[in-house]
Structure 1
Amino acid sequence: MIFSRIRQFINGNGPTLKKRVIPRDQHTVSRKEISENALKVLYRLNKAGFEAYLVGGGVRDVLLGEHPKDFDVATSARPEEVAKVFRNCRLIGRRFRLAHVLFGSDVVEVATFRGANDDSPQTEHGMVLRDNVYGTLEQDAERRDFTVNALYYNIADFSVVDFTGGLDDLKKRRLRLIGDPEKRFREDPVRMLRAARFAAKLDFDIEKKTREPIPELAGLLHNVSNARLWDESAKLFLSGYGEACFHQLDQLGLFAALFPATSKALKKAPQWQAMFDAALRNTDQRIAEEKGVNPAFLFAVLLWPVLQHNLQKRLDRGQHPAPAMQAAATDVLDEQNRYIAIARRFALVIREMWSLQHRFESRTPARVDKLSSHPRFRAAFDLLCLRAESETELKPLADWWQQYQDADESARIELIKGATQGTKNSNGPRTRRPRKRTARRAPKPST
């Protein structure tokens, strides 16, 4: 620890920690706002002789007047000791060893206080590979990412402990990284995504020193596993504030690191922004209404401009539309998988949504009936409506399909009749093909 402090002093990047204890009558954290299961974990660890604190987003959000559902616990107990206290516990993780205490479907995450990680294995870029160095409460605060996430609620006396000035930052609605930003981002590039997410979720400003190195370091995300970036993308876009997250990512230069091909397409054709905003806004609204959302839909939207470009190149080379679409979809998904892992079950849904788009144009009775009964019809139709936000020529087609879904049986017949008649008229009058006559066979001579 002494040598770690000396190195920080020499480098000039060590945080200045000053412990501040706020007694119960001077803060707004109440046990009524903490889940029963989180309280059970805190009380039992404390009774077993360990320090136990509520930490992170749970404390932060209660202080902001929110009603969080997830609560994390920090303790002096080692993971194996936590497992001895709770039978309903499982240990997970290699990079960060954690204990999960299970109460049915509810999981309370318990982490042992972290210590200085100067000797932890790192990549050539400075990314920490494992961080299972245990320490004290003060050292744990130093290892947290943002000051507002380094506030501790002590179950022993119900006080709030603040080492990093997180309470002041909460009041100023400011997001500030603990320690030297460049070093901390290199240790774990995902912290840049967390900065964007928390700024969007909390409607906080990112402190200047924290914000400045992000655009330059955004490429470090390519060193993070694509599976982990899938998890982080889900948190960014599927937590109820996806539209705000998108704009934070774009401003910080992080969206281009996650979706490089989409970013290029957006710069060439900014009109796609309307489609993205509408998709993210609709997703946020569904989450607010506690409706289900499928990540495949958002990925299908975000990658649609890239697919269009790839498909058009194939069509220009004379490829048949159907195989060209399948080949283009494979190329786009394979390329995106280099950055964010898309599970096979989601990739199949994305493919289906894309391949159904051209079928909306054909509105004969048989094809309309077949398409409208397809399992992915609703998702594909929603994509068509979003496309109409940017491709205005599709608006009449999207409106027709909406009318068809709202209509009764007789009205549907008239809609189809009008659509097919319109198609005939647009192609000019149909000419009847002459029947091919076959020569009559001469009668067989009688014998």
Structure 2
Amino acid sequence: MQNTELRIHPRDQHNISRKAISPNALRVLYRLKDAGFGAYLVGGAVRDLLIGIQPKDFDVATDATPEQVKHLFRNCRLIGRRFRLAHVIFGREIVEVATFRANSDDGSGDRELENGRLVRDNVYGTIEEDAVRRDFTANALYYAIEDFSVRDYVGGFEDVAQRRLRLIGDPEARYREDPVRMLRAVRLAAKLGFEIDAASADPIPRLAPLVVDAPPARLFDECLKLFLAGHAEQSFLGLEGHGLLPVLFPETATALAAADGGRSREMLLQAMRNTDRRIAEDKPVTPAFLFAALLWPAYRRELETLRGQGMELLAAQQRAADRVTLHQAQRIALPRRFSTPMEEIWLLQSRFPLRQRKRVFRLLAHPRFRAAYDFLELRCIESPELADEVAFWREAQGLPPEQLADRLGPPRRGSKSSAATAAADADGNAGEASATKRKRRRRRRKSAAAAPDKGE
């Protein structure tokens, strides 16, 4: 068990100001304090405030039980069976309130481990015990509303100052307790610019295979946090460096390890940089495009294998997309609302070299055209010979339909003959695609209402 030694850092020794704390979180803290309970801002919010990052969430720790918290707040609901928590709801903001957890079993059955993994933890204890059971020292800091001090039981204050990520307790035991902590270590190091302590980093490559035992839905959520929170590139490099990439994306890792995988890797890194830049600019991002990039090396490798076996191109493309998606879903539960557009982005790539007038207008009217075109641009890193295609389609998007029709030359014999009818054909294709999209949406909504998919 980790030894604890309380170190109190008064207000003049840290930079946390109540002005930077959510007013709703302050309401929760003060009401708990006024009711005679201990009340502390805890975890990532304290850590982030210390290094000058504005937290998105504010969590509270207290010695009040969930039922006592609910009694104090009419706008409170209790959630969870594995970890009983109180959520105090202020419109869209939720302040999560957790009761101090003990680090040992009291025999009540409220703390369960299976094969060394914690599956239930509702034995309440002291603040010292609560600090020890947290994952990283940087997350075990408590901001006390009573005197505005930061209380540190495991050396987290110094680790934050040194930008060091260190596990509390024996690293191997903590990873076995919850293997997803290895992904969390990589993610936090990427987000914060911290270095993972050597003792905490060393077991990761050896224990990485344990991650596959986590539920695929949980791994999908972790991937969103890794790649869609503004630090995708560093997260990817961290997964590579600690031997976790083959666990999360085995077929992609195999493809990247091949002799020609260097350009594919650079393409992936550029996709991550683009995602990070869009998030920094507050632009929308979608998991579909991200996973299209992450799994592209696997798709391309599978496609080449099927073509080498003599399979016709269109059939090989669909088979490769289906196989890669199915295999990946066994590891990470990628919902269909993301996997379907991901596959469409892949399959549309083979239509870019076709520049017949009708095909061009149909592709421009396709609802996934823009995403597929952006992906084509990305592929230029892997295949520089695509530059001519990118230039053509970039220009095609900017031209009026009549001018584009003239640029494409006269139609084939028996086809529509004028630029105006070509433009009308383009508009018709766009309308048809939109109608089809609306029809599909209505059908999906009806199906979802009949049988909601709780896994998503």
SS in structure 1 opposite 2:262? Answer: coil
Q: Pick from 25, 28, 50: which aligns with 1:41? A: 28
Q: Pick from 329, 348, 351: which aligns with 2:340? A: 348
Tell whether the 8 Å contact from 1:329 to 1:351 is kept in structure 2 after alignment. Answer: yes
Q: Quick one: distance in 2 between partners of 1:61 and 1:313?
A: 48
Q: Which residue of 1 aligns with 2:292?
A: 300
Tell whether the 8 Å contact from 1:226 to 1:340 is kept in structure 2 after alignment. Answer: yes
SS in structure 1 opposite 2:117? Answer: coil
Aligned residues: 406
Q: Does 1:248 align with 2:235?
A: no
Q: Which residue of 2 aligns with 1:262?
A: 252
Query: What is the root-mean-square deviation in Å for CA atoms of aligned residues?
Result: 1.8
TM-score normalized by the length of structure 1: 0.87
Tell whether the 8 Å contact from 1:152 to 1:160 is kept in structure 2 after alignment. Answer: yes
Q: Over residues 169-192 of structure 1, what are the superposed CA-to-partner deviations in whole Å (9 max), with x where a residue is unaligned? A: 112111111110000111111111
Q: Does 1:106 align with 2:93?
A: yes
SS in structure 1 opposite 2:268? Answer: helix
Q: Quick one: distance in 1 between partners of 2:114 and 2:387?
A: 51
Q: Quick one: distance in 1 between partners of 2:249 and 2:267?
A: 16
Q: Which residue of 2 aligns with 1:93?
A: 80
Larger Rg: 1
Q: Quick one: distance in 1 between partners of 2:318 and 2:84?
A: 42
Q: CA deviation at 1:90?
A: 2.4
Matches within 5 A, 1:273-292: 273-292=265-284
Q: Quick one: distance in 2 between partners of 1:90 and 1:322?
A: 53
Pair 1:367–1:29, CA change in 2 (3 A) = same
Q: CA deviation at 1:92?
A: 2.3
Q: Does 1:225 align with 2:215?
A: yes
Q: Pick from 247, 271, 279: which aligns with 2:263? A: 271
Q: Quick one: distance in 1 between partners of 2:330 and 2:113?
A: 22
Segment drifting more, 377-386 vs 114-123: 114-123
Q: Does 1:314 align with 2:306?
A: yes
Q: Pick from 136, 141, 145: which aligns with 1:146? A: 136
Q: Quick one: distance in 2 between partners of 1:410 and 1:117?
A: 75
Q: Which residue of 1 aligns with 2:378?
A: 386
Q: Quick one: distance in 1 between partners of 2:121 and 2:52?
A: 33
Tell whether the 8 Å contact from 1:117 to 1:131 is kept in structure 2 after alignment. Answer: no
Pair 1:117–1:385, CA change in 2 (3 A) = farther
Q: Quick one: distance in 2 between partners of 1:414 and 1:178?
A: 69
Q: Pick from 3, 7, 16: which aligns with 2:3? A: 16
Q: Does 1:207 align with 2:197?
A: yes
Matches within 5 A, 1:369-408: 369-408=361-400
Matches within 5 A, 1:58-137: 58-117=45-104, 120-124=111-115, 126-137=116-127
Q: Does 1:189 align with 2:179?
A: yes
Q: CA deviation at 1:411?
A: 4.9
Pair 1:237–1:117, CA change in 2 (3 A) = farther
Q: Pick from 151, 155, 158: which aligns with 2:145? A: 155
Matches within 5 A, 1:411-426: 411-413=403-405, 415-417=407-409
Q: Quick one: distance in 1 between partners of 2:123 and 2:329?
A: 33
Q: Quick one: distance in 2 between partners of 1:324 and 1:228?
A: 31
Q: CA deviation at 1:165?
A: 0.9
Q: Quick one: distance in 1 between partners of 2:163 and 2:350?
A: 48
Q: Structure 2, unaligned stretches of length 5 or more?
A: 413-456
Q: Does 1:167 align with 2:166?
A: no
Segment drifting more, 202-211 vs 64-73: 64-73
Q: CA deviation at 1:355?
A: 1.5
Q: CA deviation at 1:317?
A: 2.7
Q: CA deviation at 1:72?
A: 0.9
Pair 1:117–1:373, CA change in 2 (3 A) = farther
Q: Quick one: distance in 1 between partners of 2:40 and 2:322?
A: 48
